[in-house]
Amino acid sequence: METAAYKFDPKQVKQGSKKIVGCNLAQSVEAILINPPWAVRDPNGAGVTVDDFARIPFDKSLIHDGIVFVWAEKVLIHPLMKAMAAKGFDYIENVVWGFLDRDRVGMVEEKSIDVAPAFARQDYVHLKKAHRTLFMFRRKLTKPLLNLRHQRTCDSCFDFVDPTNSQFTPSEYIYRLIETLLPDSRLESNNSLKLLELWADESSARPGWLKLVEKNLC
């Protein structure tokens, strides 16, 4: 697996080659959004394990006082918390994406606030799985300097699942949440990119974001 790195600036998109796991991410940022292709999402177990994830270097030169956002399945909650704690990051918040199935929307009664019939359901050990969680972590610092804009953005959202893409997430909602929460990170607020996304969707660039896209180039 190789990596194509797409760097957005107002004039062009630049592409290079790197590996995401274990690579040197030498750029100071305020947020890192990560959607690993977790092995637990693949029927054959191919993909990233928590041990692989732990090899990503969250050095202070990369993110001193910032927030790391990680999409993860609930089976990974405990090992993910341990891996981030070992790197000196505390869990601070989470956002839940509720899965919706387009084929079941008609089952929701008009004027009803109960969307449960439209949930997309995936097999799990005890209960059917109908959500994915974006966990938020921040480094333990005695004098935090990050400028946070507290907001009314909800800690949950609903969007349709893409049955052909296990990596799909409600990205537009999350981009706006992060850009609102961290006003100094936006491109118009400074002259450098302060937002980093790992295992990003390669289909589009976004102002202010440095995106690393992993794909098979063979």
Give domain 2-215's CATH architecture. Answer: 3-Layer(aba) Sandwich (3.40)
What is residue 16's predicted lDDT score, i.e. its pLDDT? 42
| Range in 9-13, 96-100, 172-176 the model is least confident about | 9-13
Sorted by sequence, the CB contacts under 8 Å of residue 200 that are 6+ apart come out as 6, 33, 35, 209, 211, 212, 213
Which of these, 130, 177, 131, lies nearest to 155 by C-alpha position? 177
For range 85-106, the mean pLDDT: 85
pLDDT at 8 over 60: no
Cβ atoms within 10 A of the Cβ of 114, count?
Answer: 8
| HSE of 148, CA atoms in CB hemisphere, 13 A | 11
pLDDT at 141 over 70: yes
pLDDT at 112 over 80: no
> Cα 122 from chain centroid?
20
Rounded to two decimals, what is the model's pTM? Answer: 0.78
| Range in 16-30, 99-113, 159-173, 192-206 the model is least confident about | 16-30
